[in-house]
Amino acid sequence: MSGFPGRFFTKAQSLGPAALLMAASVFLSRLMGLLRDKAIAYYYGAGPDTDIYFAAFVIPDFINYLLAGGYFSITLIPLLNRFFKESSGYGWRFFSSAFWWVVLAICLLTGLAWVFALPLAALAAPGFDPAGQERLASFMRIILPAQACFLPGACFTALLFMRRQFSIPALTPLIYNGCIIFFGITWFYLFPGSGMEGFLWGVLAGAFTGSLALPFFAARAGGLRLTLTLRHPGLKKFILLALPLMLGQSIVVLDEAFLRIFGSIGPEGTVSLLNYARRIMMVPVGVVAQAAGVASYPFLSGLAAAGDNAGFNRTLNKALLGTLTAILPITFLLMAEAEPVICLVFEQGRFSAADTAIASTLLVIMLCGVTFWAVQQIMGRGFYAHENTLTPVLVGTLATALTLPLYFLFSRNLGASGVALAGAASIALYTLLLAWRFIARFGATALQGTGRRLLLLSGLSLPCACLSRLLCDITRSSLPDAPLTGAALSLLLGGFVFILPYAGLCRAFAPSVWRETLNLLRRERQP
């Protein structure tokens, strides 16, 4: 394929441009995710139908997790690197056999879940009444086939990542979210009595278009040799790598499901409010940590395969320090401005000021775990690059088992806030245990300076956040009859009050961090 489309599909990127590209992709994806939830909140608020909509993803997501769907690229990339180095034909036979086994497995599980949707709905949302569970089953049957698009598409995406071609993977989530928004809003006006079904059909359309079709065409543009075969010597290694991810279920993949399951026990709207707050919380995690992890992983994998431990440690340490430098001040600023953020994003239509007050409290609690979310995104990939999928899963499963009683206890005694608190505690425990095992297995070189930077930047951010919160409260209370205007001014003034003192404190007490930040900004401004 020649011309612009071909070059766009097949162009490879180095680490720096790849990180910036994925950061832009994740940022736009999170923004579109917020717009999607904004549309849901505007047209449907936080009520029984939105609770059912969010709960409809529990079983499909679990099927995805059961087949290690979220880790397919991570599992395949090291093996693809290895087998393609041996020979092109050997690599293509491995890719083909892995692809067809994935297709068979996901189609079988999706079909079974479609047939048994009603009893599965009772497991996904035990707090819903029988009518709610029936509607939940009908919602699930619409979006379940999307899983048959996600996992095969992830195989093609892994191939693109191995080639260090990040352009199409960067587009995938944008198309997915765009389809959900378009179908959801259009359906509301065309079929006003059908509830939220339009958003569900958008999930299916986005999964097919963005997650399957686009990566397939991109892989084919760069050369794709897909043959019908189910046998390859490398399948055993692939299964050994994927099996721990399939059997172990850590809080990283179950956190969102737990919010929905335990939130269903609470009053109407609890599931929705928890999901709205989590959507905001995951923005900095995705934009900063996920982008850095996705971009650095192919390079970490290559360094690990080459046995370059020194280069591996430098790359991982750079990713960790850079992630902490960016995410800590953002987290403190979001804590200070949680209420105006929720108000500006969601408080319109059927989403009320009372909903804003509850969701902003949930957001502050969830933000306490953001740094741990960020660190595990990077550190987990350090294990995976060494083809060690067992340790993160064992540690994650242990952390989940230890904190599962917290969900039961906190949800019944503290309601939605208890569910959010249990989630933050779970990810903190998982990350600390993972760091302990990483040091025991690989040494502490890659983590050098992370603890000091965490404490230093937290100390610099806290007073700035307090000042920002005070100004936000004063601004919003001065405009009680114009909540959106007050929220916008609060964000503007509060951000200004946070950034200026933080920059001064950082320059005075952390000059090396200040220089790193300036260098990063200069690189981003370069064409």
Q: How far apart are CA 178 and CA 31, in angstroms?
A: 11
pLDDT tens by residue, the chain, 527 residues: 444 455 555 565 555 566 667 667 777 877 888 888 888 888 888 888 888 988 898 888 888 776 655 556 667 777 887 788 788 888 888 888 888 988 898 899 899 999 999 999 988 888 888 888 899 999 999 999 998 888 888 888 888 877 777 777 878 888 998 999 999 999 988 887 777 889 999 999 999 998 889 888 888 887 888 888 888 887 777 777 776 666 555 566 677 788 888 888 878 888 889 988 998 998 888 777 776 776 777 778 778 878 888 889 988 898 898 889 889 999 999 999 999 999 988 888 888 888 999 999 999 999 999 999 989 888 888 888 887 877 887 888 888 888 889 998 998 888 889 999 999 999 999 999 999 999 998 888 989 999 999 999 999 999 999 999 999 888 888 888 778 888 889 989 999 999 999 999 988 888 888 877 676 555 544 43
Phi, psi dihedral angles at 196 (to 5 degrees): -95, 15
Residue type, 307: G
362 Cβ partners below 8 Å, 6+ apart? 273, 274, 277, 416, 417, 420
Q: 3-state class of 112 per DSSP?
A: helix
Tokens 């040091």 appear where? 439
Query: Rounded CA gap, 320 and 375, in Å?
Result: 7
From the list 489, 248, 189, the residue with the least C-alpha distance to 380 is 248
Instruction: Tell me how crowded residue 104 is: count the other CB atoms within 10 A of its CB.
Output: 11
Question: Left if phi > 0, otherwise alpha if psi is -120 to 50, otherwise beta: which for 148?
Answer: alpha
User: Could you tell me if residue 128 is left (phi over 0), alpha (psi between -120 and 50 degrees) or otherwise beta?
Assistant: beta
pTM: 0.74
Residue that the structure tokens 């900095």 belong to = 284
Greatest C-alpha distance within the chain:
69
Mention every residue, 6+ apart, whose C-beta is less than 8 A from residue 108. none
> Do 157 and 73 meet the contact criterion of CB atoms below 8 Å apart?
yes
- Phi first, then psi, for residue 444 (nearest 5°) are -100, 5
Distances (CA, A) of 68 to 1, 71, 141, 396: 33, 5, 21, 14
